[in-house]
Amino acid sequence: MVKKERVMQQKKEQMKKILEGAAMGIGLFVMFGIVIIPGLREGMGTTLGVVLDPLADIVDDFLITILILSVVTGIYTSVVQKYTTNWELMEKSKQYQKQMRELQKELMEAKREDNKHRMKKLEKKKAEIMRQQTQFSGEMMKQQMKPMMYIGIITIPIFMWIWVYIEAAPVGAVIFPLIGEKEFTASFIFGLPYWVLWYMVCSIPIAQMIRKAIGIPSST
């Protein structure tokens, strides 16, 4: 009976790895495909338009449409982060970073005091902490990349839809809260259009509230 349960557990873990690999593969394809595959960006936007074009028509205010989409992506990204991140590993990394900061302060004090014995002892401790960090640095990178791949599956096509929709039916100048009337596609910094700024303004606080609501640990 125990052996049968072990076999079933192994099969579940294998299936989970297969599904995770497939999802990450799709995420990579979406993230990098729009750069290297001609027409993919337009294809994504047009396909998603079957669902989102009616939403934009009903709302009839593209600022509100983007606000709604920022809520959707905020929920999606927060849930993905909650269930795909190894929080124990992330906490361990934070502890190492805290130790390193404290160690750096102690080293500076030891240097000011010219305490060579203490400096030698602290340098040895620093080397040990760095060695421990290096041991799981690969896993940490994987943990940081995994949510990005999943998030890209939904978020990037939404951005492509916005790009295609605005190009097909220019929104023109709109009145943004606080900053006034601006062309929707005009650049505000680093070549990014104002609609990206509006999406960020909407999504960041919404995502923070959702993260807090579903119990995602603070990054600080």
**pLDDT 10s digit of each residue in the chain, 220 long?**
555 566 566 556 666 556 555 555 555 545 555 545 656 778 777 888 888 889 888 888 888 898 899 888 888 888 888 887 777 777 777 787 788 888 888 888 888 877 877 778 878 887 877 777 776 766 767 766 777 777 777 888 888 888 888 877 766 677 777 777 777 777 777 777 888 888 888 888 888 888 888 877 665 4
121 assigned to some structural domain: no
* Contacts of range 30-33, beta carbons closer than 8 Å, 24 or more positions apart: 30/152, 30/153, 30/156, 30/157, 31/148, 31/149, 31/152, 31/156
Predicted TM-score (pTM) of this structure: 0.66
Q: What's the longest Cα–Cα distance across the chain?
A: 72
104 assigned to some structural domain: no
Residues 6+ apart with CB under 8 A from 105: none
Place of tokens 């999606």: 76
Three-state DSSP state, 188: strand
158 assigned to some structural domain: yes
Per-residue model confidence (pLDDT) at position 156:
83
Per-residue model confidence (pLDDT) at position 10:
59
- Separation between Cα atoms, residue 220 and residue 218, nearest integer Å: 5
151 assigned to some structural domain: yes
Per-residue model confidence (pLDDT) at position 8:
63
197 assigned to some structural domain: yes
- Separation between Cα atoms, residue 95 and residue 10, nearest integer Å: 32
65 assigned to some structural domain: yes
Per-residue model confidence (pLDDT) at position 206:
85
List, in sequence order, every residue forming a beta bridge with 131; answer none if it has no partner. none
52 assigned to some structural domain: yes
195 assigned to some structural domain: yes
User: Can you give the residue range of the structural domain that contains 174?
Assistant: 2-86+144-213
Where does the chain have alpha helices with state H? 2-36, 40-59, 62-84, 87-113, 116-135, 137-168, 194-213
Give the number of domains in the chain. 1
